Amino acid sequence: MTVAGPRRVVSDLPLSRAQQDRIIAAFGGCDLCILGGSADLPRALDQADIAFLSPQVKVETLIARPHLAWVHIDISGMERFSHPKILNGSTVVTGSAGRSAPVLAEHVLMFMLAHVYRLHRLMTAQNNCEWATEGFAHRRGLFGQSVGIIGLGQTGREIARMAKALNMQVLGFNRSALEVAHVDTLFCDAKGDGLAPLLEQSDFVVLCLALTDETQDLIGAPELERMKPGACLINIGRGALIQEEALIEALENGQLAGAGLDVFRQEPLPPDSPLWHARNILITPHVTPGMPDKTARAVDIILDNIARFRRGQPLRNAVRPTNRLTQATM
């Protein structure tokens, strides 16, 4: 992957002049073409070696251009691009996972705070001009409660940092055994740990990992039954991490005290989905507040990968066979 000579780079990202200059300098000089719209993208890609693209690009557009050495997609979840022809091809495809980690962690805190403060009940009471105090004396704040984070990428680590600032007990589950800051107890695949100890000890279980063949349907009826009575399940990863029918049953029978979901198997969530009416559930439409420097944070990832690319090193956030979903199609 070592570079010989200037590269031809195309991008449809909203890059400032300063950001363009940083990219050119990082390559040691390159021919950078900034597109004003998607209509010119196919022709531009035909002439390019490298591309930095918005999430709207179609998988088949990349498959049809195997001459591309590297394509960066400004998106976090890369399962759509884990197509066998990409995984087995010569084009390296990377993403922007981690650029929105702070606001995703805030989203998780919002779910947790809404649960412990019974926000849905408070809003109903306010709309009814009702001074509602029944049951609130038995609620606990987040202070001293435990949160189990499944997936300790940049978002998981940011959740751990924020939870620790609230004096929560932080448990984590990761593939590797590397120590993670702000995590009190780490369970991992490398040591042969399963999910059971984390599920059994956590007041809140948070899913913030990628969707792969290994993680699809990660949380079903057996896992929900292992969770602490009265626990709350939060998912900001991908909808197919959870078996939704089993989740609804666990909420209805009282095994779980609540759930916060931002992602779903089918999006938008259909109006007739029983999730809308499940007990003690808070639904957000796969929308997290933006960050003022979102593009800048994506550019930082791109710049890091340019340095790796020029040195012939593996790229950060690259789509790998472990990201593959066997049902992925064009």
- CB 151, CB 208: distance < 8 Å: yes
106 is catalytic: no
Domain presence at residue 2: no
User: What is the pLDDT, as a whole number, of residue 40?
Assistant: 85
CATH number of the domain that residue 19 is part of: 3.40.50.720
What's the total number of domains in the chain?
A: 2
pLDDT in the model for residue 322: 59
* pTM (2 d.p.): 0.89
* Active-site choice (67, 245, 267, 320): 267
Residue 138 designated active-site? no
Q: What pLDDT is recorded for position 329?
A: 31
Angstrom distance (rounded) from CA 23 to CA 300: 10
Q: Residue 213: its pLDDT value, please?
A: 86
pLDDT value of residue 1: 42
| Catalytic entry in 80, 118, 265, 286 | 286
Q: What is the pLDDT of residue 82?
A: 86
pLDDT tens for each residue of 128-175: 999 988 877 778 899 999 999 999 999 999 999 999 999 999 999 998
pLDDT score at 320: 80
> What dihedral angle (degrees, nearest 10) is formed by the CA atoms of 112, 215, 52, 69?
160
pLDDT of the residue at 324: 52
Q: Show the domain range for 207.
A: 101-283
Annotated catalytic residue within 22, 238, 244, 324: 238
State whether 42 and 110 are in the same domain: no
Cβ contact 303:22 at 8 Å: yes
Q: Are residues 164 and 204 in the same domain?
A: yes
Residues 81 and 153 in one domain: no
Sign of the CA dihedral 240, 166, 103, 180? negative
Q: Which residues of the chain, if any, have pLDDT below 70?
A: 1-5, 37-39, 322-330
With a CB cutoff of 8 Å and minimum separation 6, the contacts of 272 are none
- Indicate if 107 belongs to the active site: no
